[in-house]
Every structure is written in structure tokens, then in C-alpha cells.
Structure 1
């Protein structure tokens, strides 16, 4: 946008310069030409006064001497012709040039003539002036003077070059001023754009400095800050409400489950015990939903600071924790990772919770005899964790909806779950500056891949090193 503003200012300045300098350049050329023509007409008029008696008496000696003296002094050719266009007298450097015949026609008709109207640097035609020789109202002949236009062309060109230099200086000054002005005008917009990206990336405390720029943009920056404060406050209230509601509902839900559980011994018929078991399962499912909502509310908080963790060690601990359930369901759960530490920069517990959700889904939806593989490796300047299963997988459209809150695939509606697991994973990964990608595995199954920014191990302080114990 700054470039477009500068180009607009520059285009406007160039148009103004052209509007001012073009007439001035034409005026300078006409002025220099008029000045030369006036001098030559004055000289031609003096020669015409001397040529009248010479033409009457046919005594041209003194006239030729005057013309030669003028030619030697100024280097300008002059000729005197009679009414029959015969040359009566001429100087040594006289040469008939373009426009001489037309000038003579005008002069012999009793009028002064001069050409051209203006001398241009690229036209090398001489300046021709002619005046009639009158005696008692009768035209006896004409005096013609031709002047080389090189000197006047150099003068006009020098003026034009000066105008061009002045124009270039003005344009450069305009460009510098335009950059400064555009920067002053656009500074609030630039800061607004940067702060918008910072807020979109999770820094809800970012605000625009509204001390610079035009008043309208300063008011816009202040309004944006006010809006950001209001939105941040609303989001904090919403998350606090979800967290508090989830937490507060845990107690009555726990009490309700205990009461429902105590009703079990009093139920003797088979149908009543089945309904009792359904009630217990629904309370457990509601407890899972509340736990997931509480986890999601905590994960979305922007104040979470990032820490350096060993992704390989965390993955190993989570695989170990899920192995009993996998064996119970007749699944193979294995870890593929190098022995070297693989560090990542994430928000606290991001890898733990993300792997729990992904392994839970993989174990839940993979049939008996299947295999779930967790792979940890370095990739793209960061750390990649991949959970691959050979279950039913998802369609392309389902992969696009998988991270939506409370969304569940139609074929798994009867499977336990709240539909928030992948949503929590996406929020944790985004808060860590990473990315979550899911794709279909071949020949079947699903691949969920986590990527987190890489990190170096945090240096240990002396207090972290255990003291040596003497023997």
C-alpha cells in the first residue's frame, strides 16, 4: 500500500511539473528566438537605409564594405537584392538557406519577414530575416540576413537541461517526502495488521499504539484496542464459565451416580438391572463430557507458556500407559523412536494430552488383532509424532470435520466418547505453534500426525545436579 501511495504522489508531482515546465520551456525557446530576431531585424533595417541610395545610384562599394565589416565582426551572412531578385551586394559568408525565398517574397511585398517563430534544439535551420528597402514609398529591393542557429540552440538546450535537473531534484524530494508521509499515514495500519496477526496467533494481550498517524487512523486504532479488550473479556468470561460450570457440575453428578449406583441392589428383575446399568453408563458419559470441556477450556487459555519437553520420553510413557488396554482388546501397540532425546517446544502437557486422545481413538476404533504404531522423529526443523492404526479410517469429508466440537462420525455414534478429543488436540497443537494433520492410511486405517517446533535441551542449573555422596 505504501508503494501505491508513493506512486500516486509521484504521478501527481510529475503531472504538476509537466504542466509548469512545458509552457516554461516553450516560452524560453520563443524568448531566445525573439531576442535574436529583434537584433537581426534592427541590423537589417540599418542596412536597408544604407542600401536605398546605393540602389538609386548603382554605387555599391560603401554598402559592400559595411556588409563585409559586419560579417567579419559577427560571422553573419548578409545580402542585398533589388526588386528583380538580383543580388546587388553580399558578404563573404552569405549562403542562401531554407526559407530565404519565402522571406524575400514577403520583404519585396513591403513587409518584414522572420523565420522560424521558435528555434528548437533538434532543428538546425538558420534564422532568416528580411526587410524591404523603401524609397519614397517604393520598394527598391530587400536586405536578407541568415544567422546560424547553433548558439541559440545551445542556449535553449541549456535552459531545458536546467529545467530537467530542477524537475529531477523536485521529483527526488517528492519521493523522499512521499515515503515519509506514506509511512506516517500507514504506520497505524501497519501496526494494526501486525497486532491482528499476533492476536490471531494467540497473543490476546497485543494492542495497537495509537499515538501516530492521522487523527482518523488514531481513532481507528483506539477503537480496535477497545474492541480487542471487549472480545478478550468476553472470551475470558466464556472460558471461565465453561471451566466453572464443568467443575461445579462434577459434584452433583458424582452424588447422582452414587445414588443411582445404590439403587442397584434393590432391583430384582432383569429389565430393571439393565436400565440401572444404562443410567450408570450415561452418568459416566456425562462425566467424560464435563472433563473434556474443562480440559478444552484450560487448553484455550493464552497465558500458557511454552516449555521444552523430550517428545520421545513422553511418547514412551503414554504407550506404556495404554498397553494394558491394548492387550485387553487384543491389539498391538508399539513405539518407533530413536534412543536419542527428541526435544520439542510446546505448552505444558500438550504432547501428553494429544497422544492420549489419539491413542484412545486408535485403540477404540481398531478391531481385534489390529496394530497401532506411535512414531517419533525429527522432521522439518521440528519434532513429528505420528499415530497410525489399521482401523476403518475416515472419508475425505469426515477428515475435514474431525476437529469440530462434538462432531462424531455417523458409524461410531454408539461408541463411547464426547466428540471433543480431536478438538482438544487441535487447540493444544495450535497453542504450541505446531500443526495437526490427518490422512487416510493405505490400505486402510488412519494416520494422525503432530508436528511441534524443535528445541534445544534447557541448560541445567547447579541446583539441578545432585550432590556427590562420599563413601
Structure 2
């Protein structure tokens, strides 16, 4: 903003200088030429009168000396011709350029003067590379104003041109000095004007990081910026208060809600010995709803904490996380006769929030396991590829592929809405798993999408930012796309893919 203000000041001042200096320079040059022409014309007319007088007295021999004196005094070339246009004297004695004895009556200016009319103009100077001002006047006398002689003076314009150029240079220097002065003053003024704006920028950056530690001063700058600063400070204070209240709720609600839910579950379980066997199904359904409500509360609190936390991504070894989660989930998947397979490229380290990759994979595997039929497989596949034909940095993709019923296009678009579940869902999910996955992925600078899997099922793709730009190494299957990464039913564990043995362990929900 400071640069724009300074540029606007300089642009305005440049227009003013051009509007003032250019007309002044043009008028000055023309006035100097007019003054020079008038002086040369007056001198030539005086010389013509003297020459005419010398000719009338029969003193034509004195014309050369008279012309030389005028030449020494004015620095101009003098040519005197008689009434027939024959040159009687010429101050230029060079043999190649002298006109003595020549008939110049056919030249326009001489012919005009022979008709008793002066002629003034510019022409190329024969003795220099510049222009010269010629003044041709008649020397007339008698009652009929007969022309007795013609005088032509040639005045070089080098000195006049140099004087005009010097004036233009002075105007340019003065203009540059004015622009430099305006730039210094404008920079100081712009810095003064934009200081409150910079303070607002710093305060906005602090607020974006989650805490306003240095509020901007409300007593500096123009009145409009003061009012803006005061409004921003009030809004930021209120926003921080709301954020703190929400954070306090997220931290306290977990403990406050866990106790009544746990107590409700225990009371329902205590009813079991006293219930009629026909009411057992209702009790089981009630316990299931309490469990689902507990998971929903935990999911909402986790999302609230995630949205309100200032988190910084770190470099995480994706391969190690995948191997760890696959090993843990294999035991639980084996109870449902579902295999978990890891394949694809070696992913290396990616940017992610600490602990986020584990939760992302857990949620995606939990969703995939709910819909996977027995004797099928869930594939964890990694792939590193350029985002735009190799012209932009590569992206690491984590695919979680199942062989379940899949989703329609409409369902895939709504799957990341909170509390949304498919109409034909037969499980007790809370509808918060995929929203949490998206939030955790975006916190690390990535994105997650859902695609139809090759051959049926769903392919959940997590796009992550790699920390290294090394050439990926292939592990296991050397396929170039994800079709080969899709496992077949009843696949043998020794087919070249990583396959983890089953073991009893707890499963993270």
C-alpha cells in the first residue's frame, strides 16, 4: 500500500510537471528564436541601408570592408548583391563556397528582395552540420523605392540551439529534483498513513493464529482507520471470548457428559437380571443407543478441539504409520474373515498433524470394515505422482479400498456432512468419522475424496504433501495404477504384498 501511495503521488506530480515545463520549454524556444530573428532582421536592414548609401555615392569599394566588420561583430556570413542579383561581396572567401560574381537573382530569397520584400527563414548552413537563419532584405531608395542592392545575412543557430537545450536540461533536472523531494515526502506520508493498516495486518495474523496478543492502537491514523481499528478490536475481543468459551466447553463437556452416560449404561445393565426374556432385545437396543450416543459425543468433542486448536503440521513417516495401523486392525478384521493388505509405492515422510494419520486410517478402516463382506480384503495402497504432468510438486496418495457395496455419486458428495448416514445403513455409525477425516487431512494441508473402486466397492483417497521430492521406490506389486492394487478374494498371503498375521489386540474406534 505504501508503494501504491508513493506511485500515485509521483504520477500526479509528474503530470503537473509535464503540464508546466513542456509548454514553458516550447514557448521559451520559440521566443528565443523570434527574438534572435528580429535582431538579425534589424541588423540586416541597417546594413542594407548603409550599403545602398555607399552605392549611391559611388563608394562600392568600401562594401567588402563594411561586410567584414558586420561579420566580425555578429558572426554571420554577409552577401551583398547589386540590383541585378550579381554578388558584389561575400565574407566567405573559401573558393568552394564563395558566391562573388555569381548571379543569385533566381534564388527565392534574393528574388523576393529584388521585388523590395524581405525574406526570413532557416536553411542548412554550408559551413556546419547545423541550421542557419537567413535574413535577405533590399536596400531601396528614391521616390519609387527602387532596389539598389540586396543584403543576405546567414546566422548559425548552434549557439541558440545549445541555449535552448541547456534550458530543457535545467527543466529536467528541476523536475527530477521535485520528483525526488515528492518521493521522500510522499514515502514519509504514506508510511504514516499505512502504519495503522500494518498494525491491523499484524493483529489479523495474530488472530488467525488463535490469539491476539498485540491489539492495534485506536488513537493513531486518519479518523476512518481509527474507527476501523476500534471495530476490529471489539470484534476480535468478542471472537476470542467465544473461542475461549467453546474451548472451555470442549474441555469440560467430555468429563461432564461421560459420567451420566456411564451411569445410564450401568443402570440399564443392572436391569438385565430383573427383565423378562422378551424385553432383552429392547434392553440391548437401549444399550446400543447409549454406546452410539457416547461415541457421538466423543466425536463432536474431538471435532471441536480440532477446529479450535492452533496446530502445526510435522513430517510424519507414512509407511511406519500404515504398517502399525494395519498390524493392529488385522486382528479385528480377521474375526470378520476380512484381510488387510498393504501395497503400492514407498511413501516416505509427509506433512501431517501429529497423531492425525493414525486417526485418519482408523476411521477409514473402521468404515471399510463395516461394509466389507466375509472373505474379502481391504487394501491400503500408497502412490506418489506429480499433480500436473511433472510441472508441479508431487503428491502422495493414500488409498483405502474395500470390496463392499460402494456409494452412488450423490452419496459420495454428502458423505462428509456431519451426522449423514446412508439410508440403507445397517450399522450404528455416528456420521462423524468422515468429517473428522477431512478436518484432520486439511489441517496438514491435504484433501480427501471418495471414488468408486475398480471392480466395485469404495476407494477413499487421502492426498498428502510429501516432505521429500525423491524418486519413489516400488514395494510389492509393481503396478502403475490402483487396479492392480485391488486385492482379489481368497488371495494367498505370499503373493508379494505385505500381509500381517492376526493377533488379538484392542481396536481404536
Instruction: Map 1:210-359; keep pairs closer than 5 Å.
Output: 214-215=221-222, 216-217=224-225, 220-221=228-229, 223-268=231-276, 270=278, 272-304=279-311, 311-336=318-343, 346-359=352-365
Once residues 206 and 438 of structure 1 are traced to their aligned partners in structure 2, the CA distance between those partners, rounded to angstroms, is 41
Partners of 1:267 and 1:361 in 2: CA distance: 34
Q: Unpaired runs of 5+ in structure 2?
A: 93-97, 123-128, 386-392, 469-509
Do 2:313 and 2:354's aligned partners in 1 also have CA atoms closer than 8 Å?
yes
Contact preservation (8 Å) 1:210, 1:221: yes
Gaps of 5+ in 1: 117-122, 456-471
SS at match of 1:356: helix
Q: Which residue of 2 aligns with 1:361?
A: 367
Aligned to 2:24: 24
SS where residue 300 of structure 1 aligns?
Answer: helix
| Pairing 1:37–2:45 present | no
- CA drift of 1:124 comes to 5.3
* One of 100, 103, 111 as aligned partner of 2:109: 100
What is the number of residues matched between the two proteins?
A: 441
1:169-198 CA deviation, whole Å, 9 max, x = no partner? 655666676667656655665675676567
Deviation at residue 366 of structure 1 after TM alignment: 1.9
Question: 1 CA distance for matches of 2:313 and 2:219?
Answer: 33
Q: Distance in 2 between matches of 1:64 and 1:228?
A: 97
Greater helix content: 1
Q: Is the 8 A contact 1:44 1:143 kept in 2?
A: yes
CA offsets per residue over residues 227-249 of structure 1, 9 Å max, x none? Answer: 23322321332343355345423
Decide whether the 8 Å contact of 2:254 with 2:301 is kept in 1.
yes
- Match among 426, 430, 438 for residue 418 of structure 1: 430
Q: Note closer, same or farther for the CA distance 1:209–1:381 as it changes in structure 2 (3 Å cut).
A: farther
Once structures 1 and 2 are overlaid, which stretch shifts more, 309-318 or 23-32?
309-318
Give TM-score scaled by structure 1 length: 0.75
2-structure distance, mates of 1:402, 1:99: 97
Q: Displacement of 1:279 after TM fit?
A: 2.2
Taking the aligned partners of 2:84 and 2:218, their CA distance within structure 1 comes to 84
Distance in 1, Cα, partners of 2:319 & 2:244: 34
Compare 287-296 and 56-65 and name the one that shifted more.
56-65
Pick the aligned partner of 1:390 from 386, 399, 403. Answer: 403
Once the two structures are TM-superposed, the CA of residue 67 in structure 1 deviates from its matched residue by: 1.2
In the TM superposition, residue 81 of structure 1 has moved relative to its aligned partner by 5.8
SS in 2 for 1:126: strand
1:158-169 alignment, distance < 5 Å: 158-168=166-176
SS state at 1:392 partner: coil
CA distance in structure 1 between the aligned counterparts of 2:213 and 2:348, rounded to whole angstroms = 32
SS at match of 2:400: strand
SS in 2 for 1:229: helix
TM-score in terms of structure 2 length: 0.70
Q: 1:89 to 1:337 in 2, by over 3 A?
A: closer
| CA gap 1:227/1:306 in 2 versus in 1, 3 angstroms | same
Q: 1:443 to 1:252 in 2, by over 3 A?
A: same
1:58: Cα distance to partner?
Answer: 4.2
1:150 to 137, 158, 177: 158
Which residue matches 1:77? 77
CA contact (8 A) 1:71 1:91 kept: no
Alpha-carbon offset, residue 290 of structure 1:
0.9
Structure 1 residue aligned with 2:441: 429
In 1, distance between residues paired with 2:376 and 2:212?
Answer: 47
Helix, strand or coil for the counterpart of 1:406? coil
SS of aligned partner of 1:257: helix
Cα distance, 1:127 vs. partner?
1.6
State the partner residue of 1:91: 90
Aligned Cα RMSD in Å?
4.3
